[in-house]
Structure 1
Amino acid sequence: MSAEFQHGWYIGNICVSILYGKSIPYLSELKAAVLTRTGHAIGMELVIYGVSMRTLFRRKTQHRSKKDMFFVVFSTILLLCCTINLASDCFFGEEWWIVNGGSEQWFADNVSAWYQTWASAVNVLVQLLADGFLIYRCFVLWDSYLVVPLPCLVWLACLGIGITTLYYSGSPGGDDFAGLALQTSTAYLACTMAINFSMTALIVARILYFARTTGRMLANGSTRQYFGVIAMVVESAALYTVFSLMYLITFAIGSDLSALFMSFYAMFTVISPQLIIMRVVTGSAWSRTTHNDLATISFADHPVSTNVTSGSRTLNNTGHIAMSQTSFREGSVGDMTFETKHAKGSAFDVV
C-alpha cells in the first residue's frame, strides 16, 4: 500500500479515537461539555450515549415506555459495535506499523484476518441498523407509509450484498480493495448511499416545508429546535450521508484517500443515529404529532382573518369570533358574536 493510503488509515484511526472518547473521569458532567474539568477529551460518541442513557434512566420505571427500552438496547448495540471496530483497527494498525514496520506484504497477508472480518461484519450490522433507523425517522416526519416500501426494498438488497461482501472479503486471500470483494463492496456502498441520500433529501424537504407553512407564523423562537440548521443536520443524518458519499467516490475510483474517509464514514454511521436518539429522549426531536402541535400553537398565538362570501369573520386574541353581514347564498345572517372560554374543555357560547 502507498504512503498516502497508510497516512489516511493512521489519521483516520486517530480521528475516530478522538470522536469515540479518550477518558471519562466525570460521568456526572456528561451533559455539560465535551471537555471535563481535568481537561481530558471525552469524545462525541460517549457523551451522546451518556446523555441519552442518563435521561432515560432518570425516568421512573413505570414511566418508561417500550420505545425507551428500544432506544437503550439500540444505542448500546451501536456503542458496542463501534468499540469492536475501533479496537480491531487499532490492533491491526499496531501489528502493521509497529510490529511489522508497515510491510505491504504483511498487509496483503493479514487484511482478511479473523478480527478484521469480525470488524467488517460489525460495520455491516451498524450500517443496516442506521439505514433502517433513518427510514423510520423519515416515516415519522412524513407520517405516511408511501415513503417506506422502496427504501425497504433497497435495504433488503443491502442485506444480501453485504453478506456477499463479507464472504468474499473474509475468504483466504480476500481483500476489500481488490477482486470480487471490491466489486461487491462498491455495489453495497452504492445501495446504502441510495438510502442515505434519498432519506436525507426527504427529511430536509419535509422540515423546510413545515418551516415555510408553520414556522413563519411563530416569531417567538419556539420553533428553533425544529427548524434550525442544527436540527436539520441532525434529523436528516446529513453528516452520515456526506461522509458515505465521500467514501463511496474515493473507494470506487481507487483513491488512497478512501482509507481516511472510511474511518469517518464508519464513525458517523454510529454517531448520527445516536444524535437523533438523544434529541428524541430529551424531547427536542420531531414526532408524528409535532406539526399538529405547532399548528395549534400558531392558531392560538395569532389572529386569523378569513373572508366568507361577502362578509368577514375574525378570530382575535381575546377568543371572540365576530361575524357581520355575512351572506350565505340566499338570505343573510345578521350580526352575531361567538365567545370562547379559555378554560380547558369548554365549548363555544352563543351570545
Structure 2
Amino acid sequence: MALTISKAELIGVFLESLAYGVYLMVFNQCMFVLKKRRSRPSDYLVGTAVSLFVLITAHLVIDILRNMEAFTSDEADPNYPTQYYQKFDTWQNYVKSALYVAVTLVSDAFLLYRSFILWGRNYFIATFPFLLFIADIGIGVFWVYTLSLIVPGENVFADALSIRVKTFYSITLVMNVICTSLIAFKILKIQKAVAPFTKGTADQISRLLPIIVESGSAYSALLVVMIGTYTSQSPAMFIFLNSMSPIIGIVFSSVIVRVGLGLSHGDSHQGGTVSSRNVQWVTRASSRPANTPQIYSAPFPEGVQVSLQQTIHTHTDGFPDDVESDTTSPHSEYKSGSFHAM
C-alpha cells in the first residue's frame, strides 16, 4: 500500500505522541535537576527547557487538531484527508510551521551558546555559526510567509516553499555539524587531559556516550534524514517532520540534565574556569589526614574545567553541586576518588 501524505501525517502524529511521552519524562527530570541545584540555575538553562516545553506541547496540540479535522470533518468523502492536507493556507498550518521553526531556532541557539561557553567564550569560534543562525531566522520567516502563497493542489516538493524548506534544513544542518564538531572535539580534549589521572581505562562506549549526548549529534543525523526524504519527494518526510519536535526536546533536555548535574561543561555561571566551589573543596581536601585518598591537581588546557571529586556515600540525596557540603557532613563515608570533566 502506497504511502500518501495523509497516511504519513497520521503516522507522524502517532509517533509524535509516543516521543512526547518520553520527552515528558526527560523534561520532568530536567526541571527536577535544575530545581535541586544548590546554586542558582542558569537563566539560559531554565529558559531553554521551559521554552522548548511550551513550543513542543503547542506543536503536538496543533497536530492533533489537524488530524481530527482531516479525518472527522467530512467522513462522507473518503478523499477529504488528502484534500485537507493539500491546503497550506490554513491558520493551523501557519501555527504548526511557526512552532516548528521556533523549536528549531531555540535548540540551535542553545547548541550555539553551549559551544561558545565550552570554548571559553571565544567570539572568533562562534562568529560563523552565529551568522548561519541569523540566516536561519530569516529563512524560517520566509518559510512561514510562503505558506500563504501556495494554492491548493500545488506540489509542495517543487514550488517556492520547497526551496525555502530545503534551505532552512541545510543551513540548520551546517550550523549543527559545526557546533557538534566543536563540542565533540572539546570533550575529547578534556577526556585526554584527565586520562592520566583516572584509575583504569574506560571502555570506548563510556567515552563516546557523553560526546554523542552532549554534542546533539543525534539531532544532526535526523536533519540529514529530513533533507533526504524531502529531496526525494517522499511523503515519509511528514512522518519525520511531525515527530521531530519532541525528539529535539529529548536530545536537548538530556544535555541540560547533564549540565545541571555538573557532569558536563556548559553552565554560564561557571564559564571556562574552575569554579570557586571546586577550588575551596580541593583546598579542604588537601588538608585532610594522610590516610585520606589524595587528590591530584594538574594544569589542563585553557577553557577546561575539571571537578576533582570523591565518591561519597551519604544519608541524603545529593547532586554534584552539593559535594562541598557533603564533605563536611559527619555522616559521610569516603570511598574511591573520581574525576569529572566539566
Aligned to 1:233: 212
How far apart are the structure 2 equivalents of 1:212 and 1:204?
Answer: 12
Deviations 1:264-301 (A, max 9, x none): 333322222211111111222224448998xx99x954
1:196 to 176, 193, 203: 176
Aligned to 2:112: 135
1:148 is aligned to 2:126: yes
How far apart are the structure 2 equivalents of 1:149 and 1:134?
Answer: 14
1:303–1:214 CA distance, 2 compared to 1 (3 A):
closer
2:244 to 257, 265, 280: 265
**2:68 aligned partner, one-letter code:** E
How far apart are the structure 2 equivalents of 1:239 and 1:197?
Answer: 11
How far apart are the structure 1 equivalents of 2:193 and 2:37?
Answer: 35
> Contact 1:211 / 1:227 at 8 angstroms: preserved in 2?
no
Please give the TM-score of this superposition, normalised by the length of structure 1: 0.68
Which consecutive unaligned segments of at least 5 residues does structure 1 have?
A: 22-43, 305-351
> Contact 1:207 / 1:227 at 8 angstroms: preserved in 2?
no
Deviation at 1:228, TM superposition (A): 2.9
Deviation at 1:173, TM superposition (A): 2.7
> Contact 1:52 / 1:282 at 8 angstroms: preserved in 2?
no
Deviation at 1:167, TM superposition (A): 0.4
Could you say what the CA RMSD is over the residues aligned between the two structures, in angstroms? 3.2
Instruction: Name segments (4+ residues, structure 1) moved above 4 Å.
Output: 288-293, 299-304
Identity %: 23
How far apart are the structure 1 equivalents of 2:200 and 2:26?
Answer: 29
1:59–1:194 CA distance, 2 compared to 1 (3 A):
closer
**2:13 aligned partner, one-letter code:** N
**1:50 aligned partner, one-letter code:** N
**1:228 aligned partner, one-letter code:** R
> Contact 1:210 / 1:291 at 8 angstroms: preserved in 2?
no
Alignment of 1:1-351 (within 5 A): 3-21=3-21, 44-59=22-37, 63-65=39-41, 67=42, 69-100=43-74, 101-103=78-80, 104-109=82-87, 111-143=88-120, 144-171=122-149, 173=151, 176-219=156-199, 228-287=207-266, 288-289=271-272, 300-301=295-296
How far apart are the structure 2 equivalents of 1:153 and 1:276?
Answer: 24
**2:114 aligned partner, one-letter code:** R
Please give the TM-score of this superposition, normalised by the length of structure 2: 0.70
Deviations 1:287-346 (A, max 9, x none): 4448998xx99x954999xxxxxxxxxxxxxxxxxxxxxxxxxxxxxxxxxxxxxxxxxx
Which consecutive unaligned segments of at least 5 residues does structure 2 have?
A: 286-293, 300-342
Deviations 1:120-176 (A, max 9, x none): 111111111111110111122222322200001111111111111110013463775
Aligned to 1:40: none
Deviations 1:93-124 (A, max 9, x none): 22223434453223223x33102211111111
> Contact 2:3 / 2:236 at 8 angstroms: preserved in 1?
no
**1:145 aligned partner, one-letter code:** Y
How far apart are the structure 1 equivalents of 2:40 and 2:158?
Answer: 48
How far apart are the structure 1 equivalents of 2:196 and 2:233?
Answer: 47
More contact order relative to length (CA 8 Å, sep ≥ 6):
2
> Contact 1:96 / 1:106 at 8 angstroms: preserved in 2?
yes
